Amino acid sequence: MKITIHLRAVMTLLFISCGDNTFLPSTQLTKAEVYFPLHVGDQWQYAWDINETNKDNYTVSVVGTTIFNNTKYFTLKGEFAVKKLDLPLWYMRVEDSRVYLYSNGKEYFDIDFDRMEVDTINKLTSYVAVSNKTIDITPGKFEGCVETAAYLSSIDAVPYRSFAPNVGMVSSVGEVLSLVLTYARINGKEYGRK
């Protein structure tokens, strides 16, 4: 009898919790994992445009992982379709709502998807300026997007970047440079055409 009552109480709590989306299983993705997905093999292709005169296609690929200071980072590689430049690799990781960049022996705090206001201390750290945005571009219509900005976005030091759930960055717009997603392959799922 006691076991039946306890079991019934547990099942009721689970159904109530699941019904209003307050129960989050341990497999739930963090905000950073949703808006900045990183898996080996992921790829994003962008139309690259500088002042309408310098156009190219730019591809970012996750080519592996590495460890710095006992912390795992994903290794990213950028390539232009036309310009044949030897671009350096860069290293990124996500944790909770934050995105980090590792460069020259130091970790930098890049984006906080939970922050809704400018950070006047870390002026390059991006925050969510607009949420629940719909973006309709070549690979498809993306809903629930966020647009990030930083203290220095107004002077083009840090562009306004838009991120789609489970896709990542779909656009980056500054005064001079713009990137717009044309194709992505994220965790095996494709968006747009290669």
For residue 9, tell me if it sits in a domain. no
CA distance 70 to 90: 17
For residue 17, tell me if it sits in a domain. no
For residue 10, tell me if it sits in a domain. no
For residue 185, tell me if it sits in a domain. yes
Contact 182, 139 (CB under 8 A): yes
Kindly list the distances between the CA atom of residue 168 and the CA atoms of 82, 111, 148, 155, 180, in Å, as whole numbers in the listed order: 24, 12, 12, 24, 12
Q: Which domain holds residue 109?
A: 27-192
For residue 95, tell me if it sits in a domain. yes
Contact 111, 162 (CB under 8 A): no
For residue 71, tell me if it sits in a domain. yes
For residue 21, tell me if it sits in a domain. no
Total structural domains in the chain? 1
Task: Please state the pTM of the whole predicted model.
Answer: 0.80
CA distance 178 to 172: 6
Q: Angle at the Cα of 29 (from 91 to 130), degrees rounded to 5?
A: 80
- Give the CATH number, domain containing residue 122: 2.40.360
pLDDT tens digit at each of 194 positions of the chain: 333 333 233 333 222 223 332 323 335 899 999 999 999 999 999 998 876 677 889 999 999 999 999 999 999 999 998 888 888 999 999 999 999 999 999 999 999 999 887 666 666 678 898 999 999 999 999 999 999 987 665 555 557 899 999 999 999 987 677 899 999 999 999 999 87
